[in-house]
A and B are shown apart, each in its own frame.
Chain A
């Protein structure tokens, strides 16, 4: 029994909270020991005596002594995340699952599509790529949200846009009265008509609500991307994170172990992948 307990959980302290939108907040935590991960992997985050859930860090994988996790209020555990205060103690176990193979993307034009809170994992990817931006030909980040108020990471956008080789396009589905917006108003998938990337041999990453993943993938195929170059972050109910609980099974695959990062060619023949 030399193997370590895969459920071993480490304490972490919340040192800053950023409310990104009415339903989404980023908690910034300092774990008791560094938690190295590769971008795309996820962790199980514990609110002690309440519960735990799978979340993908939204910070760069080049930083392991601190971690940002961006969380939408959507259920029991996340309610408590939204009640948390600076100084609160949480738990982290992991990381688990597959990552984006960014070492294979050297010299390429990388396209990232993040919709809603799906921008959180893709921000981790974006920041990890920025660290070695010289390695890539360009980074295009397409961001979508329902309304301007739902748009997250607002305070960072201008700084990112100022970086050479980075192109960021943002869209909202609609602009309610009283909210201001001077960028695109359309579905995120429509932003594809406003970019100019050669799809052959270049990677594209999609993360967002199931409906956006589905139609985003269909549009990317039409645009000319190959099945094997479309990276999907397939978030399911990953209770254990280690392939034991079977809740995240997608046909023959476990989202937690074989994913959550899948290429479309791997999962396209499985049932209900978008649900």
Chain B
């Protein structure tokens, strides 16, 4: 189905204001208010919001809306029914890791699961890219073909709507009652394919200088001197992990009061010194370069073993956020090319 961009926006505001579809919150990307800052971020929609639905990914990862920096696990926070619009391919790909990690046959994170179940996601194709975007370098795409409920692809002042799930189908029914939807004229599919291909070409051009093999086992074997050198400007702030769509490390704290046991989880970062420290003070990675290297191995090696997918979806946020101006793509490429040390 096709919807006018303007109609779609008024539908979103109606959802937010009148709890249409039972949604208690509608979240969209909007431009940063700092004119020097060429970024988008997620915000609850209101009358004055100007959503930026196509463009490229937000600076805050979608993960942070499903796995907040601090939540109560026992008794478990319940979440609320909401609609998130403007999710990008890189963020959607991260669900392949997060869902396996946090909702598996052994144990379920009750709060993450509640947010997943209560959220309807409308993803949108990327129409532009930013300097750090590199989804195609890690096998991703600037649009999604999985996990979405509805997907929007921009065609002029319209969106082509694709249904991805039962939830999406129900949402479309509600939309039909409020705004005019029309049938595609026939050439939209071609136009969308052209748009998508054009963005892929841009991404490939931008990232050709970072090209590398897909056999990331080389990283584990690379010379330690390379990591020491690359980590020199790292200040260990943990910004890269906090903003990563696939990082989900947490600590558990006890906030029990009286008779009730209360367990709270908070975000943690493997870049921080105390991360893996055990009682008695020993830590397996006391040096900054060890923690720096650990992040790369976790993404490209450990997560690959754990989830059959590398932990980088190419969003490039860690590059944008780095206080030490470390170019993630360059570090990966360089350490995969270093002479191998004897095993």
Residues of A within 8 A of B (CB): 1, 3, 5-9, 11, 46-53, 72, 74-75, 77-78, 91, 210, 235-237, 239-240, 242-249, 251-252, 257, 271-272, 275
Which 10 A-B residue pairings sit nearest by Cβ, starting from the closest?
A252-B305, A75-B279, A74-B279, A242-B107, A9-B261, A48-B256, A7-B74, A275-B284, A74-B280, A6-B107
Mask, B276-295, CB within 8 Å of A = 1, is 11111011110000000000
A251 closest partner in B (C-beta): B302
Once A1-B117, A91-B261 are accepted as A-B contacts, the answer to whether A244 and B250 lie under 8 Å apart by CB is yes
Q: Size band of the B side of the interface?
A: 35 or more
Residues of B within 8 A of A (CB): 73-76, 101-102, 104, 106-110, 113-114, 117, 220, 248-257, 259, 261, 263, 265, 268, 270, 275-280, 282-285, 298, 301-302, 305-306
Among candidates B107, B261, B263, B298, residue contacting A243 with C-beta atoms closer than 8 Å: B107
Q: Across the interface, which residues of B come within 8 angstroms of A245, CB to CB?
A: 249-252, 265, 268
Q: Across the interface, which residues of A come within 8 angstroms of B113, CB to CB?
A: 1
Q: Is the CB of B110 within 8 A of A1?
A: yes
Question: Nearest Cβ in chain B — how far from A147, in angstroms?
Answer: 17
Question: Nearest Cβ in chain A — how far from B97, in angstroms?
Answer: 11
A53 closest partner in B (C-beta): B279
Question: Nearest Cβ in chain A — how far from B248, in angstroms?
Answer: 7
Q: Across the interface, which residues of A come within 8 angstroms of B276, CB to CB?
A: 236-237, 247-248
Q: Is the CB of B252 within 8 A of A272?
A: no
Q: Is the CB of A9 within 8 A of B263?
A: yes
Q: Is the CB of B74 within 8 A of A9?
A: yes
Q: Across the interface, which residues of B come within 8 angstroms of A210, CB to CB?
A: 282
Q: Is the CB of B278 within 8 A of A237?
A: yes
Question: Nearest Cβ in chain A — how far from B341, in angstroms?
Answer: 13
B257 closest partner in A (C-beta): A49
Q: Is the CB of A249 within 8 A of B302?
A: yes
Q: List 26 A-B contacts (CB under 8 A).
A: A1-B113, A1-B117, A3-B108, A5-B74, A5-B75, A5-B110, A6-B107, A7-B74, A7-B76, A48-B257, A49-B254, A53-B279, A74-B279, A91-B261, A236-B276, A243-B101, A244-B248, A244-B250, A245-B250, A247-B268, A251-B302, A252-B301, A252-B305, A257-B106, A271-B220, A272-B285
